[in-house]
Amino acid sequence: MPQRFTPRQMIDKLISFDTVSRHSNLKLIEFVEDYLAGWGVASRRVMNEDGTKANLFAVLGPAEKEGGIVLSGHTDVVPVDGQDWSSDPFTVTEKDGRLYGRGTSDMKSFIAIALAFVPEFLKHELTVPLYFALSYDEEVGCLGVRSMIDEIIRSLPRPDIVIVGEPSDMKVVNAHKSIHAFHTVVTGLEAHSSAMDKGVNAIVYAAELIGFLARIGEEMQAKGDASGRFDPPYTSMQIGTVNGGTAVNIIPRHCDFRWEFRALPDQDPEEIPARLAAFAEEKLLPRMRAVFPGASIETKARNFVPPLKPQEGAPGEALVLQLAERNETEAVSYGTEAGLFQMADIPTVICGPGSIQQAHKTDEFIELAQVAACERFFTRLAAHLAS
């Protein structure tokens, strides 16, 4: 007999796998493969280059048929390092109507409930395919899903809709910001701190660049969001890390910083890096190279997560609104894999249990009421697939 899990049991099981992004997710993938195989469902891996991680996709129902619905989720979670958890983060703890554990909200509960519903889906003679698409390394830049999307496009009929189960309180989200991450390296010239005129202080020039980016951030905040849908209602700027210098009595030769902006869907993605490059070239480098011709400022793009743009009136979106029993769509500021599916010309929305406010935090949790709401969603989905 194939193994059955209640949604709660499946949540317990998936949380027990330590799939922090720096670790392999293969034990979780092997478990899902075996579970699906027990129900007669074949699955396919799409591996990373060194074979330590895998995406997994599987099809229930008529795989050769056009259309269908993709249930998409990432298997990795963020680290717990430095967080003072009240309980073991990789063992689900139930308290006061909540399930605590790393990934309960972001986003293993969605995957777990979907997997627990496999027997219910298979009870019906599915008239359209239902896909499971599980990815790796979403938390470090939506890296893994890209190769899986390529594989889906090459080998399967195009789905009608992708449902990315990121925590949205079971609201239907059809828009989110894009993420643009960069690494800027400033190279100056070291010298004794008593001879300021003989050196080029990389930290000072990096500070000018950071200040310039902060001013752009203030401009974007003042410009606001014409759609009125996003919170915060503007393209946001963030400086994440700064490193530089050796000692207080040495003019620093090196400084680097990592930064990002999260752009409204209609924001020109080239504007901000182009303005920074022009500021460096016109205002800073002439002063730096007057002292040391070898001075440099280099900025490299590190990652890009595309926006999710509204596709109002799309049939797939209307279906998800119906399944979620919602009348309106929402917009969010966090990035997801949804924009990558949309870039591949597959209509995509976000709808999943839990709150993004709990994601990545100490004592991450999901409300049991959200688990129940997701169960009702999948009950209605099963009925739809059989109709």
- Residues noted as catalytic: 76, 138
Dihedral of the alpha carbons of 80, 98, 8, 120, in degrees to the nearest 10:
-120
Smallest Cα–Cα separation from 159: which of 67, 79, 243, 223?
67
Contact between 385 and 200 under an 8 Å Cβ cutoff? The reply is no
- From residue 73, alpha-carbon distances to 62, 76, 78, 229, 332 in Å are 22, 9, 14, 24, 17
The 3-class secondary structure across 128-192, one letter per residue, is CCEEEEEECCCCCCCCCHHHHHHHHHHHCCCCCEEEECCCCCCCEEEEECEEEEEEEEEECECEE
Type of residue at 205: Y
Q: Find, among 269, 205, 213, the residue nearest to 238 by Cα.
A: 213
Structure tokens at 96: 């006061």
d(C-alpha 277, C-alpha 185), whole Å: 12
Measured distance CA(229)–CA(256) in Å, rounded: 34
DSSP lists the bridge partners of residue 242 as: 257
Residue 6 to residue 3: CA distance in whole angstroms? 10
